[in-house]
């Protein structure tokens, strides 16, 4: 008979302890200048992780995130990249290695939306979203796996969406890209599990960010009414899920999609 299981305790993030001679882990976070990406960079730095904060255009905001990370005692650098250019996406890995010395965690968070009904959606709107939200993430994963395979360890966390699980009217391009990201996550997870590398996805629902606020009060009220929990989520709740999956505590979790959506896609 199998041995009886001990009762599992709820996971709590352990405090970061500096071990003499041990090197800090290094993370690359895309879309780190605001919203969920900013929260992820700060959550990882609270665990003693050095962070390469990749951003698209807002250098001032990225610089503020770097300062906040450094105030927590971790190293940080801001890296500008246009993720419409797959070459620039891949180069983020090399630039992180040059700036911080190694790479242990990748969080593909950057994304954009070009919403519209399929009958009115242009090729440009489709291609822009697929390139930034899916192809760039693939290019970064491919580049990051080379050093991770050599060191036989690593964490990749891809930020997808509940739209990629259940679809959403007016977001065929975004939902397709995020669904593709789930397939990418599961496929890579099976390829590299034997090398000590985990690959997971986090699927946020409606999160209280600048983007959501810009939709206007009535729209936000309607979205809130769809959520079983009765409220929008916070960027910090998403970043906590990412920090867990990037931690040593999640070493036996790979290929999963963790929904942070208040029950929206239940």
Question: pLDDT for 48-61, tens place per residue?
Answer: 999 999 999 999 99
Identify whether 5 is part of a domain.
no
d(CA 87, CA 139): 8
From 1-5, 30-34, 261-265, the region with the lowest mean pLDDT: 1-5
pLDDT at 20 over 90: no
pLDDT at 1: 41
pLDDT at 205: 94
**252 catalytic, yes or no?**
no
How far CA 94 is from CA of 60, 86, 88, 90, in Å, comes to 23, 13, 10, 8
Identify whether 225 is part of a domain.
yes
Please report which confidence band the pLDDT of residue 231 belongs to, taking 50, 70 and 90 as the band edges: very high
pLDDT at 6: 39
Q: Please pick, among 55, 126, 138, 174, the residue that the annotation labels catalytic.
A: 174
Identify whether 19 is part of a domain.
no
Place of tokens 């990370």: 69
pLDDT at 15 over 70: no
Q: Strand (E) positions, the chain?
A: 26-29, 50-55, 76-80, 105-108, 154-159, 197-204, 257-260
Give percent above pLDDT 70 in the chain: 89
Q: What residues contact residue 177 under an 8 Å CB cut-off, 6+ apart?
A: 111, 129, 130, 133, 134, 164
d(CA 209, CA 159): 15
Which CATH number belongs to the domain containing residue 68 in this structure? 3.40.50.720
d(CA 256, CA 242): 12
DSSP calls for 90-107:
HHHHHHHHHHHS---EEE
The number of residues in the chain equals 266
The mean of the pLDDT values for the chain is 91
Q: What letter does residue 248 receive in the DSSP assignment?
A: G
How far CA 214 is from CA of 132, 208, 219, in Å, comes to 22, 10, 10
Are 31 and 55 within 8 A, CB to CB? yes
Sign (positive or negative) of CA dihedral 67, 69, 73, 74: negative
pLDDT at 13 over 70: no
Neighbours of 79 (CB within 10 A): 20
- State the average pLDDT over residues 75-80: 98
Identify whether 266 is part of a domain.
no
pLDDT at 215 over 90: no
Identify whether 7 is part of a domain.
no
Identify whether 228 is part of a domain.
yes
The whole domain housing 246 covers: 26-259
Task: Provide the token pair at 159.
Answer: 């930020």
Question: pLDDT for 92-117, tens place per residue?
Answer: 999 999 999 999 999 999 999 999 99
Report the domain count for the chain: 1
Are 11 and 33 within 8 A, CB to CB? no
pLDDT at 122 over 70: yes
Question: pLDDT for 144-199, tens place per residue?
Answer: 999 999 999 999 999 999 999 999 999 999 999 999 999 999 999 999 999 999 99
pLDDT at 154: 98
How far CA 104 is from CA of 51, 67, 158, in Å, comes to 10, 21, 14
- State the average pLDDT over residues 15-26: 60
Task: Provide the token pair at 138.
Answer: 């693939």
Identify whether 3 is part of a domain.
no
Identify whether 1 is part of a domain.
no
């Amino acid at each position: 008979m199998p041995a009886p299981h001990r009762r599992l305790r709820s996971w709590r993030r352990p405090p970061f302890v500096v071990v003499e001679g041990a090197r800090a882990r290094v993370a690359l976070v895309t879309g780190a200048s605001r919203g969920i990406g900013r929260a992820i960079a700060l959550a990882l730095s609270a665990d003693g992780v050095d962070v390469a904060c990749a951003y698209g255009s807002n250098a001032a905001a990225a610089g503020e995130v770097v300062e906040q990370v450094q105030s927590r005692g971790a190293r940080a650098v801001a890296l500008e990249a246009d993720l419409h250019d797959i070459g620039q996406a891949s180069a983020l890995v090399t630039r992180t290695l040059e700036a911080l010395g190694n790479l242990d965690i990748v969080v593909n968070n950057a994304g954009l939306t070009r919403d519209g009904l399929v009958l009115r959606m242009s090729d440009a709107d489709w291609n822009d979203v697929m390139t930034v939200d899916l192809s760039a993430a693939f290019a970064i994963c491919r580049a990051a796996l080379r050093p991770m395979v050599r060191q036989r360890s690593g964490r990749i966390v891809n930020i997808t969406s509940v739209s990629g699980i259940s679809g959403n009217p007016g977001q065929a391009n975004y939902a397709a890209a995020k669904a593709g990201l789930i397939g990418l996550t599961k496929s890579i997870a099976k390829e590299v599990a034997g090398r000590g590398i985990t690959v997971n996805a986090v699927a946020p629902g409606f999160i209280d960010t600048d983007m959501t606020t810009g939709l206007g009060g009535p729209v936000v009220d309607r979205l809130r009414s769809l959520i079983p929990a009765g409220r929008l989520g916070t960027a910090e709740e998403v970043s906590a899920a990412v920090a867990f999956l990037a931690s040593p505590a999640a070493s036996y979790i790979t290929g999963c999609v963790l929904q942070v959506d208040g029950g929206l896609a239940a």
